[in-house]
C-alpha cells in the first residue's frame, strides 16, 4: 500500500478508524471522512502527516463529489475507496411492521445510497486515470471495498431496514464490479460478523460473549480482524478478485 491514496468513510471511530490506522501502517495516504468532523480530525491526528480529515455526508451527492475533488487536489489520485459509513448504533430495533418510513429511508440513504454516491464520485476519477495510462502494462488497479454485514446471511430479526440495506450493498457490489472491470477497477464487499467496537458495546448487552458459542473460533471479532481482509482486497494480491463478498465472522455462518 506504499504511497497509495485511500478514502475511508465513516472513519471518525470504530471500524472506520481501525481501517484508517491499518492502511496508514501499510504505507497509504488516508482521507479520513465522516459527518463528525471532530472525530475525523481525531482519527487523522492518530494516523499522522499522511492523513486528511474531511467532513462528508455520504447521503449528499454534492458532499461526496467535493470529497473526491479534494482528495484529487491533495494527492492527485485515488487508488482505494472503503465505503464504511453506515447508521448502526443509533438504530432502534423493532418489528419490521413498526419501522416508520422516515427510519427506513434514513438507513437506506446512508447505508446503501451512500455507498452508491461515494463510488459514483470516486469511480469517474479512477476511470479517467486508468484511461490515461492504458499504454502502461503495469497500470494499477482501482479498488472499491464495500462494507456489508453478516446479518444479510443470518437475517437478524428486529433489524429489517439495516439488514436490507446491507443486502443491497452486496447487490450493488456485484453490479458495479461488472461495470468497472473493463477499467481495471475491482469492487468487492466484506461482511463482518458481530464486531467489538464502541458502537457494538453500547448496542448489545454482554457484547463480549455475544454469539461466541456459535463460531468455529471461540472469541468475539475485533476491528483489527476485519482490517486484514480490507488490506488484501486493496492490494495487488487481489487484482483478479471482483464482485465477491467475504464473510469475516469466525466461522458462524457455516455452522
- Beta strands of 69-149 (E only): which ranges? 80-83, 142-147
Q: Is 88 a catalytic residue?
A: no
Name residues whose C-beta falls within 8 Å of residue 206's C-beta, 6 or more positions apart in sequence: none
CA atoms within 13 A on the CB side of 181: 12
Chain-centroid distance of CA 255 in Å reads 26
Q: Which residue has the cell 477499467?
A: 183
**Among 88, 162, 210, 232, the one annotated catalytic:** 162
Residue 210's alpha-carbon distances to 88, 164, 204, 205, in angstroms, are: 17, 22, 8, 8
The answer to whether the beta carbons of residues 155 and 164 sit under 8 Å apart is no
- Beta strands of the chain (E only): which ranges? 5-9, 29-34, 51-55, 80-83, 142-147, 185-192, 195-196, 221-222, 245-248
Name residues whose C-beta falls within 8 Å of residue 103's C-beta, 6 or more positions apart in sequence: 91, 92, 161
The answer to whether the beta carbons of residues 152 and 163 sit under 8 Å apart is yes
Length of the chain: 255
Q: Which residues are catalytic?
A: 162
Amino acid at each position: 500500500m506504499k504511497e497509495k491514496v485511500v478514502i475511508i468513510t465513516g472513519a471518525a471511530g470504530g471500524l472506520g478508524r481501525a481501517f484508517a490506522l491499518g492502511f496508514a501502517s501499510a504505507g497509504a495516504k488516508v482521507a479520513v471522512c465522516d459527518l463528525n468532523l471532530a472525530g475525523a480530525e481525531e482519527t487523522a491526528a492518530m494516523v499522522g502527516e499522511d492523513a486528511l480529515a474531511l467532513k462528508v455526508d455520504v447521503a449528499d451527492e454534492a458532499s461526496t463529489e467535493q470529497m473526491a475533488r479534494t482528495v484529487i487536489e491533495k494527492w492527485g489520485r485515488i487508488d482505494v475507496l472503503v465505503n464504511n459509513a453506515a447508521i448502526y448504533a443509533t438504530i432502534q430495533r423493532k418489528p419490521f411492521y413498526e419501522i416508520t418510513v422516515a427510519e427506513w429511508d434514513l438507513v437506506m440513504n446512508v447505508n446503501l445510497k451512500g455507498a452508491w454516491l461515494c463510488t459514483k464520485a470516486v469511480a469517474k476519477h479512477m476511470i479517467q486515470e486508468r484511461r490515461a495510462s492504458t499504454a502502461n502494462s503495469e497500470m494499477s488497479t482501482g479498488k472499491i471495498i464495500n462494507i456489508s454485514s453478516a446479518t444479510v446471511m443470518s437475517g437478524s430479526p428486529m433489524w429489517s431496514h439495516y439488514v436490507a440495506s446491507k443486502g443491497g450493498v452486496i447487490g450493488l457490489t456485484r453490479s458495479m464490479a461488472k461495470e468497472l472491470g473493463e477499467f481495471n477497477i475491482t469492487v468487492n464487499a466484506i461482511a463482518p460478523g458481530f464486531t467489538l467496537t464502541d458502537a457494538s458495546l453500547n448496542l448489545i448487552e454482554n457484547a463480549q460473549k455475544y454469539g461466541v458459542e456459535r463460531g468455529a473460533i471461540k472469541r468475539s471479532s475485533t476491528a483489527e480482524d476485519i482490517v486484514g481482509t480490507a488490506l488484501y482486497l486493496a492490494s495487488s494480491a487481489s487484482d483478479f478478485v471482483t464482485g465477491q463478498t467475504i464473510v469475516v465472522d469466525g466461522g458462524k455462518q457455516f455452522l
